[in-house]
């Protein structure tokens, strides 16, 4: 199974679970799928090529304008095309994924249709397939496995977590075609607004035609890290002091932050995030200028708990006010995290279960 490096992270996992060998397709300089590498991988694996799984628009935050040519190339080699619908909120009302040339596509209800993302599930949503693949679709869990015409069931319930579905149904009914299209446009506008305002502080890694992004943008911190030692994780942790949950960290590109505002946030909230990022960039500049070392900076010590800020044992090279209230409005409305910086990698490798017996 061919998996572009720009595809959603779960695509490779899905292919492996299906018993396939994953072959990664490289990325071009603009963040799109590298056609030369794609054609080379197709040729090298033509005798065993099963499928390609693509995410459109990609996780790099750009539209592959030649997606139809990609599908045609795989079909010509006898493969099938799976289109990941994870980023459908950049398409609803504006494009028809069924015309890209895909053979199978799933429609994520999370994000696009009002269902919260994360938390490990439960997941639910339709999977659309062309007629020639109908005999291979999953079977009915309520029918005997030997009944003709039914494949293997993959869910104990025919409709997955059906309790989720009325929420998306109500959202679609309330929004209507015009409202859903407006939501898509708002998501695209919000992402491009963030990219345009932050590009001079944190370069946007990939852009499409006209210097625009799709529904998300990747902020490249690798140059700043090389110069100052401040990492993308430092920035992510510092954002907690401003009351923001961190954007996607180190995916799909290590040393970066992927920002996806969606259509849900108003301009005031987006501006608040942008102001936080600009203020954080000023702190990075303080490290570069030698005002304090990266090890003793508010970035490396972030996030700051209330107990740390009020402690009489304050020996850091920056004032308490900068630690807890780096911008004025936080003095009126402030979130304090329950814990400070932890060794995330150490915790991942040394799990200590605190579950009740």
Residue with tokens 């304008």, as numbered in its chain: 65
Helix (H, G, I), strand (E, B) or coil at 269: helix
Bridge partners (DSSP) of residue 81 are 52
- Rounded distance, CA 98 to CA 104, Å? 9
Tokens standing for residue 99: 């015309």
| Interatomic CA distance for residues 260 and 220, integer angstroms | 14
DSSP 3: E
Query: Could you report the per-residue pLDDT of 270-296, keeping only the tens digit for each?
Result: 999 999 999 999 999 999 999 999 999
Residue with tokens 């029918």: 143
Structure tokens at 72: 């045609």
Q: Is the CB of residue 2 less than 8 Å from the CB of residue 41?
A: yes
CA angle 122, 101, 161 (to 5 degrees): 10
pLDDT for 121 equals 57
As to burial, measured by CB atoms within 10 angstroms (0-12 exposed, 13-18 middle, 19+ buried), residue 238 is buried
Residue with tokens 């799984």: 53
3-state helix, strand, coil in the chain (%, to 5): 40, 10, 50
pLDDT tens-digit series, residues 200-242: 999 999 999 889 999 999 999 999 999 999 999 999 999 999 9
d(CA 242, CA 240): 5
> Which residue, among 209, 246, 239, 245, has the nearest Cα to 326 in the 3D structure?
239
User: Is 28 or 107 the better-scoring residue by pLDDT?
Assistant: 28
pTM confidence score:
0.91
Reference 79, options 138, 22, 1; nearest CA is 1
Q: Give yes or no for a cis peptide into 122 (omega within 30° of 0).
A: yes
For 232, residues 6+ apart whose C-beta sits below 8 A from its C-beta are 221, 225, 249, 250, 255, 256, 257
Q: Give residue 118's pLDDT band: very low, low, confident or very high (50, 70, 90).
A: low
Whole-number Å distance between alpha carbons of 303 and 138 = 46
Residue 224, classified by CB atoms within 10 Å of its CB into exposed (0-12), middle (13-18) or buried (19+), is buried
Cα angle value 11/88/51 (rounded, 5°): 35
- Cα 298 to chain centroid, rounded: 27
Closest CA to 27 of 57, 59, 4, 47: 4
Spatial distance between the Cα atoms of 26 and 8, rounded to a whole number of angstroms: 14
Structural domains of the chain, with CATH: 2-164 (3.40.640.10), 184-347 (3.90.1150.10)
Least confident of 47-56, 74-83, 309-318, 342-351: 342-351
- Asked whether 30 and 208 are in contact (CB, 8 A), the reply is yes
Is pLDDT at 120 greater than 70 in this prediction? no
Q: Tens digits of per-residue pLDDT, 310-346?
A: 999 999 999 999 999 999 999 999 999 999 999 888 9
For the record, the structure tokens of 84 come out as 């990941």
Mean confidence (pLDDT) of the chain: 92
When pLDDT is cut at 50, 70 and 90, the band that residue 259 belongs to is very high
């Amino acid at each position: 199974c061919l998996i572009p490096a720009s595809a959603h992270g779960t695509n490779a996992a899905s292919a492996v679970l299906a018993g396939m060998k994953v072959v990664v397709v490289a990325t071009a300089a603009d963040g799109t799928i590298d056609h030369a590498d794609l054609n080379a991988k197709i040729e090298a694996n033509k005798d065993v090529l099963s499928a390609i799984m693509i995410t459109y628009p990609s996780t790099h935050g750009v539209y592959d304008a030649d997606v139809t040519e990609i599908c045609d190339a795989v079909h010509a080699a006898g493969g099938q095309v799976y289109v990941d619908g994870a980023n459908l909120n950049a398409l609803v009302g504006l494009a028809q994924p069924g015309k890209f040339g895909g053979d199978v596509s799933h429609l994520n209800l999370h994000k696009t249709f009002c269902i919260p993302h994360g938390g490990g599930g439960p997941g639910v949503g339709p999977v659309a397939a062309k007629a020639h693949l109908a005999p291979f679709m999953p079977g009915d869990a309520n029918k005997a496995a030997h009944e003709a015409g039914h494949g293997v069931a993959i869910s104990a319930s025919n409709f997955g977590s059906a309790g989720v579905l009325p929420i998306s149904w109500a959202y679609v009914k309330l929004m209507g075609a015009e409202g859903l299209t407006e939501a898509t446009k708002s998501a695209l506008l919000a992402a491009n607004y963030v990219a345009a305002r932050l590009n001079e502080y944190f370069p946007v890694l990939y852009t499409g035609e006209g210097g625009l992004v799709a529904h998300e943008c990747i902020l490249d911190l690798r140059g700043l890290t090389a110069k100052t030692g401040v990492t993308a994780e430092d920035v992510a942790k510092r954002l907690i002091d401003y009351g923001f949950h961190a954007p996607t960290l180190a995916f799909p590109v290590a040393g970066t932050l992927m920002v996806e505002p969606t259509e849900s946030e108003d301009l005031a909230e987006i501006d608040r995030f942008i102001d936080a990022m600009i203020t954080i960039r000023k702190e990075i500049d303080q490290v570069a200028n030698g005002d304090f070392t990266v090890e003793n900076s508010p970035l490396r010590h972030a996030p700051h708990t209330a107990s740390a800020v009020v402690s009489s044992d304050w020996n850091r090279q920056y004032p308490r006010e900068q630690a807890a209230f780096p911008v004025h409005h936080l003095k009126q409305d402030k979130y304090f995290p329950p814990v400070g910086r932890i060794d995330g990698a150490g915790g991942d490798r040394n799990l200590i279960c605190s579950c009740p017996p």
